[in-house]
Amino acid sequence: MVMPPRFSRRRLLQATGLALAAGALSPWRVRANASPRSRLILLGTAGGPTPKADRAAPASAIVVDGVTYVIDCGNGVARQMVKAGLDLGSIRDVFITHQHSDHTADYGNLLWLAWSGPLHTPVDTWGPPPLAEMTRLFLAMNDNDIRTRMADEGRPPLAPLIRPHELNGPGLVMQDARVKVTAALVQHPPVEPAFAYRFDCPDRSIVFSGDTRPSENLVALARGADVLVHEVMYLPALDTLIATEPNATRLREHLLASHTTTEQVGRIATEAGVKTLVLNHFVPGGNPPVPEETWRDAVAPHFKGRIIVGRDLMEI
């Protein structure tokens, strides 16, 4: 007996639906969806404290499962987060690589401005001394505004929401359900200590060099990482930058002693065996900017993996 065509089609659709549902609930598919994908956003990619027209000050963010981890807090980081579509209320941890103003200028401002909006949960902050004293002084400096907003807008006290942790050496920094963060000491004279950070996320590992000259500690930290975000300096363009500075001799000495050239960056990434190298914290910056292809071409002979020339608000 031949089934009516309409009945056969209905049974076929039912069977297909059951098969799709079974596939959606299969153990493999559940495990795949249970591992959240990390997002890496370069909020600011300039190097140095002087504001630049083409690049924002140093800052980055990693987002895992809706939770945001901020690395460095250069000038304007809160606005860069908003431009990137990130929720200021999702900040849970902030990591400072070293005590230079281009990396710390908006440390307090980020949390203060986030608190004036959606932030109402504690934030742990991590970095070299005097992080705790910086936090205390920032809160004291802005006490009048904080108390006014608490009384006028019903906001909770800000001080208990900021929990600074000072780091003095390498090792495990923190670990939660989403990331494991490890620090290594790098060399950025005369600033000590200076740190690089490795984030082991559910789907990949991401390392931030911070500011450093070539460092064996960084190579060890970045060994086998999926992504290395590394500062970079282009020597042929240094003279243009230095010519604009009244302290040219001292500045040149500092840059050569405490930063990493394009050639050195490529060799470091090769030695560490990373998959992707992201160029960041560009020195020199400003006007006229060094073209993207110049940065890539200067690094490529020394690293055969994937090279990304970072830009503000780029997601990787």
Let me know: does 195 contact 210? Beta carbons within 8 Å: yes
239 carries an active-site annotation: no
Question: DSSP states of 76-116 as a string?
Answer: THHHHHHHTT--GGGEEEEE---S-HHHHTTHHHHHHHHHT
Phi-psi region of 311 (alpha: psi -120 to 50; beta: other; left: phi over 0): beta
Let me know: does 310 contact 278? Beta carbons within 8 Å: yes
Catalytic one among 54, 65, 93, 102? 102
What is the token pair recorded at 47? 């190097």
Largest CA distance in the chain: 97
- If we measure between CA atoms, which residue out of 310, 302, 100, 102 comes closest to residue 206? 310
3-state helix, strand, coil in the chain (%, to 5): 40, 25, 35
Give kind and range of the element (H or E) at residue 19.
helix 5-24
Residues designated catalytic: 102
